[in-house]
Amino acid sequence: MKTGRTQVKRIPKRGHYDLETIYSILDAGFICHVGFVVDGQPLVIPTAYGRVDNRLFIHGSPASRMLKSLQQGIEVCVTVTLLDGLVLARSAMHHSMNYRSVVLFGTAELVSAQTEKQQALYAFTNHVMPGRWAETRQPNDQELKATTVLALPIEEASAKVRTGPPIDDDADYSLPHWAGVIPLSMQTGAPIADPKLAQDTAIPEHIQQYLSKHSI
Amino acid sequence: MKTGRTQVKRIPKRGHYDLETIYSILDAGFICHVGFVVDGQPLVIPTAYGRVDNRLFIHGSPASRMLKSLQQGIEVCVTVTLLDGLVLARSAMHHSMNYRSVVLFGTAELVSAQTEKQQALYAFTNHVMPGRWAETRQPNDQELKATTVLALPIEEASAKVRTGPPIDDDADYSLPHWAGVIPLSMQTGAPIADPKLAQDTAIPEHIQQYLSKHSI
């Protein structure tokens, strides 16, 4: 996993190359930032994703410029970043953030086999919320045809993680300023039912489980 | 603001080009994803930022590959994405996310004047937390010299925003599945004092104000 491209160069102690760390960050995020080059111009596009084993899937309309470009086998860089806290130091210069990020290099491959496409769509849906796939109307042949799915191998990847308190200069520890970490996390609010939903539709078990795990 | 590069091509109704929308998204985010090209290879690096008027500042060590590359005046794409909710539709295919994102194109400029550098560092620190700058040890000349600050003009930028309920196919509205939005937001947890902090150090007013605004 550690190659010339993926090696964490600045502050190497923050670098991680084991799959467990990389997968756990990918599985905890919702949105990746896909970087690619069109006519020399870098583009960074946020998009949803799903993971199955050592492959990261992205998808969208066949008309998407991003998907049309990536299908040509050009180099891609996909980055997922999770923010975990604001690191408040005694000195302005040592302010930082606690975060987990993954940077992944490679080229995308068009997923065309029907069963594999179905598997990717399962991954997208259950990545949004575990258990969701089984409680929806699943894609029909026409929908599958109208969706482009691309796969990126999770091979050349690295994670970068910052945790813990601020690191101040020795001389600054005697200053009176409060220092520490303000933890941040994504929390759910109360579900907002679709106005077109029948009024007596109960919130199903898989959503209740999700809410109980992701609200303070 | 609307140029060939920034025009939102897919689902144009989600595109916004007014500065108020763009600034409000930039001011609400903590991390931007900086896209640039080195030897044909796209790189997407997460980093903190600050905004002063129509300029976005990033900073770091003079040894940073990103900052060294960008200083050469190469094309940059900076993207900030805020996730607002999981959009659960009746059909798997119409699952989505509510989000706000800004995509910004341009080239970076090295900030070398001492006063302007100071202004940028003020912006970084107070972007992490309003009021923080005044309650820290501010940068000395040596620190300012040891920090590279780059500015990107917020000129060629666009915002993309999705809000509201899922949009299902007409035939699917009669299905029994729960549909709606699970709101998501970044929330603060209880502050974790630096273990090296004197035990009687009170949490100052600017942090308490922040916590009262950003916790449920």
The answer to whether the Cβ–Cβ distance between B95 and A63 falls below 8 Å is: no
**How far apart are alpha carbons B107 and B148 in whole angstroms?**
15
Contact B44, B65 (CB under 8 A): no
**How far apart are alpha carbons B68 and B91 in whole angstroms?**
47
pLDDT at B7 over 90: no
Nearest by CB: A177 against B42, B83, B137: B137
Contact B192, A181 (CB under 8 A): yes
**Residue B121: exposed, middle, or buried by beta-carbon count in 10 A (0-12, 13-18, 19+)?**
buried
Cα distance from B175 to chain A (closest Cα, Å)?
A: 8
Percent above pLDDT 90 for chain B: 88
- Per-residue pLDDT at B16: 80
pLDDT at B8 over 90: no
Give the mean pLDDT of B47-62: 96
**For A179, which residue in chain B has the nearest alpha carbon?**
B194
DSSP run (H or E) holding A117 = helix A114-128
**For A201, which residue in chain B has the nearest alpha carbon?**
B178
When pLDDT is cut at 50, 70 and 90, the band that residue B216 belongs to is low
- Per-residue pLDDT at A100: 97
Cα distance from B185 to chain A (closest Cα, Å)?
A: 5
User: Testing the interface with A: which of B70, B136, B138, B216 to mutate, by most A Cβ within 10 A?
Assistant: B136
Residue carrying structure tokens 């035939």: B171
Cα distance from A212 to chain B (closest Cα, Å)?
A: 12
- Per-residue pLDDT at A134: 95
Burial B154-169 (b: 16+ CB within 10 A, else e): bebbbbbbbeebbebe
pLDDT at B9 over 70: no
The answer to whether the Cβ–Cβ distance between B138 and A202 falls below 8 Å is: no
- Per-residue pLDDT at B176: 94
pLDDT digits (tens, 9 = 90+) for B87-107: 999 999 999 999 999 999 999
Contact B192, A177 (CB under 8 A): no
User: How many residues are recorded in chain B?
Assistant: 216
**How far apart are alpha carbons B16 and A213 in whole angstroms?**
34
**How far apart are alpha carbons A110 and A68 in whole angstroms?**
10
Give the mean pLDDT of B41-54: 97
Binding-face residues of A in 180-209 toward B, CB within 8 A = 180-197, 201-204, 207
- What totals of helices (H) and strands (E) does chain A contain, helices first? 5, 12
pTM recorded for the entire structure = 0.94
pLDDT digits (tens, 9 = 90+) for A182-203: 999 999 999 999 999 998 899 9
pLDDT-flagged residues of chain A (< 50): none
DSSP run (H or E) holding A57 = strand A55-60
**For B63, which residue in chain A has the nearest alpha carbon?**
A10
The answer to whether the Cβ–Cβ distance between B5 and A95 falls below 8 Å is: no
Cβ within 8 Å of residue B62, ≥6 positions away: B68, B146, B147, B148
**How far apart are alpha carbons A176 and A197 in whole angstroms?**
55
pLDDT digits (tens, 9 = 90+) for B127-176: 999 999 999 999 999 999 999 999 999 999 999 999 999 999 999 999 99
Q: How far is CA A17 from CA A12, A31, B38, in A?
A: 11, 21, 22
**Chain A within 8 Å of B118 (Cβ-Cβ)?**
no
Angle at CA of residue B71, ends B70 and B72, nearest 5°: 90
- Per-residue pLDDT at A9: 59
pLDDT at B202 over 70: yes
SS (H, E, C) chain B: CCCCCCCCCCCHHHEECCHHHHHHHHHHCCEEEEEEEECCEEEEEEEECEEECCEEEEEECCCCHHHHHHCCCCEEEEEEEEEEEEEECCEHHHCEEEEEEEEEEEECEECCCHHHHHHHHHHHHHHHCCCCHHHCECCCHHHHHCCEEEEEECCEEEEEEECCCCCCCHHHHHCCCCCEEEEEEEEECCCEECCCCCCCCCCCHHHHHHHHHCCC
The answer to whether the Cβ–Cβ distance between A182 and B211 falls below 8 Å is: yes
For chain B, give the mean pLDDT.
93
Instruction: Give Dmax (Cα) for chain B.
Output: 67
Cα distance from A80 to chain B (closest Cα, Å)?
A: 9
**Chain A within 8 Å of B12 (Cβ-Cβ)?**
no
- What are the structural domains, with CATH classification, of chain A? 12-169+201-214 (2.30.110.10)
pLDDT digits (tens, 9 = 90+) for A133-153: 999 999 999 999 999 999 999
Give the mean pLDDT of B72-76: 97
**How far apart are alpha carbons A188 and B187 in whole angstroms?**
9
- Per-residue pLDDT at B2: 61
DSSP conformational letter for A112: -
User: How many residues are recorded in chain A?
Assistant: 216
